[in-house]
Structures are given as structure tokens and as C-alpha cells.
Structure 1
Amino acid sequence: MNNLCPICKTSYPSDVKFCVNDGARLIATDSSAEQTEPQLHNPFERQPQIGQSYYKASIGNRFVAALLDGLIFLALMIPAAVIFVFAFIAAYGNKEEEAAAFCIVGILLFLIPLAFQMFKDGFGTGQSPGKKAMKLMVIDLETNMPCTKQKSFLRNIIMLLMGIVPIVGGFIEPIMVLATNDGRRLGDRAASTMVIDKSDYFN
């Protein structure tokens, strides 16, 4: 038995799992038989898209990961929200200096959840807390390394900007995840990143 790359058709020994040329998962073949098309172990196994190195991550896992990260974002927002309430009360009582001070503190505290939202996918091994819980990660397709904080900022700022577009803006990125073969939204395409199952990652 040999392993065959489904993209470049290079043959490897059975103990090699990924192609060194394009990163595709190798498929077991019977070396004694002439085969023009590689056969999968399991007919229900997900198949890689031509020209890609990784499988599309589970949509369900991505949804749960996004939900968990959203809850963390909201929790980080609580201190800033409380301070802004104090600022409103002070302003209502005509305590302008006190209100201004509360506003400055509230803005500084708001930077914490904002930074989390922008850089969350650049933590550690390309995993936000939600993605880590769901065993997902963001990979930099240009380097085959985990997503950096710079790439995380780029992929997430695109989503933020899309959300500003009235009515349809907030739906564009989720639709891209659902409708594309690789599950890459506009932010991923701008940053050359992709969300994958951590078990699929190789380095």
C-alpha cells in the first residue's frame, strides 16, 4: 500500500500523511492495481478542494466558537458600560468634569474588548478562546503557520467594516462561510487565512 497525493499525484510511503509539495492529505492506494483516480478510505469522508491544502472546518463548530467568543466580548464590555452609565448620571446632574472623566475611563476600558475582538485569532496557536474550546484554529495559508496578531486584525477588521454597511452588511461574511467551498469569508481572503480543524493542521 502506498499513499497518493490527490492533487499532484505524487506517491509516498504509507507512513507519510501529507504531500510535501502542496500540503494535501494523502490517500491510501493499492500499489498492485492500476488506478487513475484515488480512492478514499471512507466514501463519506470530506474531500479537499483542488488547489487547497486543508478541509473546510465544521460550520457547527465555527458557530459555537463565535458564540463563545461573543460572550467573552460582552463580558469584557461590562466595565466600560458601567462607567458610561456613571458618566450619563454625572452629566444629568450637571457635573461636567466628573462626566468627562468617566467618559475617558469608559473609552479606555472599551479598548479592551475591542482589542480582544481584533486580535483574538492571533493568540497562541492561532486560536481564540472559542476556537480553542471547539478545537479549531486559523491558519496562515502563505506560511502554513498559525495566524499572527497582524493577520487576525486584518481578517476581523473586514468583518467589522462589513457590519457597518446598512441592512446587508452583517450577512455578507456569514454567507461567505456557508456558501464557499473553503469556508473563507472576505476577511480570510484579504488576510490569506483559513479556519480549519486543529486535528488537520500539519507543520
Structure 2
Amino acid sequence: MSELSINTTQNVKINFIAASIGERLGAYFIDASVKIAYILVVWFVFFYWLKVGVLMDGLDSWSARALMSLFAIPLMFYSLTLESIFEGQSIGKILLKIKVVKIDGYQAGFGDYLIRWFFGIIDFFIPIIYGLVALITVISSKKAQRLGDMAAGTAVITLKNNINISHTILEDIGTSYVPTYPLVIKLSDNDMRIIKETFNKAADKNDYEIISKLVAKIESVTGIKNQSGNNSDFIRVVLKDYNFYTQNM
């Protein structure tokens, strides 16, 4: 799976995980199964039970084609209709927990789904190489996009929870936790996110110089003085203190 970074118009960076080839294929085959089930139901109800096939024998060719086209409409507009109703999801996508989103941070709209649906003719329905175009473009694209996604400015992401507490500014603190540095409230959520990300990366690489500079920056901005004597412990306490005060404000 590849990470997909979306920069919104408010200059906020949102990270998603692009849906894998397996997830997209799984959703495709589930949707195909739904369409096949529809065809079987239509055949049984209308052509076997209600004898529509017998009635069609008395129709001219244009009328017969019009009637067949009427039955085919749900198949033709299946993905467009469901993605518009369920905000980027078909039955297959719902079951596989993947979704179509705009890469500019906005909610995809009907026009975007329409473009994806239209380009589906190229992606999936070229004779002999059915679906090969979509498969190649998804694999080769940096954002795992098929042609329809590229044209619509969309991508398909996974909704499965791949985030744990280490990816956020949250820290595990017990109910009996006693804070040390009240002045941490001078910092913002974004400050804490940057501090935590920088600290974690530096700690993984044993980059004590970066950690020391980070401590100096925290002290200069907040007026806090490191009382622990250990830079890493100091930053951990700052993170927990910030969580304590902001959760109880």
C-alpha cells in the first residue's frame, strides 16, 4: 500500500493510504457479482415467470431493443448511481472499506463520479484487454489512479484503521497523572504534532543533536526549563503535560 498525501485548499496536509490492487479488484468482483445476480433475477422474473420473452416475439426490432435497454439501465449506471448516493462507494467498496475521494481535499461530487464512470469505458470495456488499462495505470500511477481517477482528480483510499496513537499528538496518561509544566499550554496542537514527529524520528536515529535543539526551541517558546536533566524524558513529559491540560480544559 502507498501513502497518499492530500493538500487541502486550507493548506492542511491529510495522509491517507491508497487502496491496494487486491482491495480494488475485490470490490470490482463483488460489484460484478451483484450485476450478475441482477441479470439472473431479471431473467427469472421477467423472461421466465412473466413470459416477457414471449411478448417480445411480437415486437419489432426497435421496440425489442428499447425493452432490453430498459432492463440494462441499472447495469450501465450501477457505479455512477451508487457512488453518487453513498459518497464514493459502491456495494463492493462498502464491503471492502474503500472509497473515492478528491485529491484536493474536497468531497467528490456527481460531476467527478460522472467523469470516472465515463472513462470506465476505456479503463474496463475495451475488447480483448478488458480492465488491463485500469490495472496498468493503477500500478504505475504514484497515487494509484486509473484513467478515470486522473481525469476526475480523484483517488481510491482505504478506510481501514491503520492509525494508532503514535501517529497522533495523543499520549497515554493515567487518571492519577500529575503534570510538571503548566506553560505547555502556550503551544498549539500543530506545535505538538511537529514536536512529536520530530522527536520520534530523531529518537529512532539516535540523533541527540536534533533532540537537544528541539528542547532548546521548546524552552525558548514557552519559558519552560528542563527539570529532568534528560532531554528525551523532558520532551516525553511535555507531550503528556500538554495532553493533560488540553483534555481537562
TM-score by length of structure 2 reads 0.50
Q: Deviation per CA, 1:25-44: give whole Å up to 9, x if none.
A: 4xxxxxxxxxxxxxxxxxxx
Tell me which residue corresponds to 2:79: 117
The 5 Å alignment of 1:164-179 reads 164-168=125-129, 170-179=131-140
Greater share of residues in helix: 2
Consecutive unaligned residues of structure 1, counting only runs of 5 or more, are: 1-6, 8-17, 26-53
Tell me which residue corresponds to 1:70: 32
User: How large is the RMSD of aligned CA atoms in angstroms?
Assistant: 3.3
Amino acid in structure 2 at the alignment position of 1:192: G
Distance 1:143 1:24, change over 3 A: closer
Amino acid in structure 2 at the alignment position of 1:159: G
The 5 Å alignment of 1:36-55 reads 54-55=16-17
Consecutive unaligned residues of structure 2, counting only runs of 5 or more, are: 163-249
Tell me which residue corresponds to 1:191: 152
Determine the C-alpha separation between the residues in 1 that align with 2:29 and 2:94: 13
Determine the C-alpha separation between the residues in 2 that align with 1:59 and 1:163: 15
Determine the C-alpha separation between the residues in 1 that align with 2:110 and 2:81: 5
Q: 2:95 aligns with which of 120, 133, 145?
A: 133
Percent identity reads 22
Determine the C-alpha separation between the residues in 1 that align with 2:14 and 2:100: 17
Asked if the contact 2:31–2:92 (Cα under 8 Å) also holds between the matched residues in 1, the reply is: yes
Distance 1:165 1:112, change over 3 A: closer
Q: Deviation per CA, 1:11-37: give whole Å up to 9, x if none.
A: xxxxxxx9x624244xxxxxxxxxxxx
- Do structure 1's residue 21 and structure 2's residue 43 form an aligned pair? no
Determine the C-alpha separation between the residues in 1 that align with 2:43 and 2:140: 36
SS at match of 1:196: strand
Asked if the contact 2:123–2:147 (Cα under 8 Å) also holds between the matched residues in 1, the reply is: no
* Larger CA Rg, structure 1 vs 2: 2
SS at match of 1:194: strand
TM-score by length of structure 1 reads 0.60
Tell me which residue corresponds to 2:205: none
Tell me which residue corresponds to 2:168: none
Distance 1:77 1:161, change over 3 A: farther
Distance 1:169 1:72, change over 3 A: closer
Q: Deviation per CA, 1:27-80: give whole Å up to 9, x if none.
A: xxxxxxxxxxxxxxxxxxxxxxxxxxx332122111111111111122233456
Amino acid in structure 1 at the alignment position of 2:120: M
Runs of 4+ residues deviating >6 angstroms: 84-88
SS at match of 1:184: coil
Number of positions where the alignment pairs a residue of Structure 1 with one of Structure 2: 152
Tell me which residue corresponds to 1:13: none
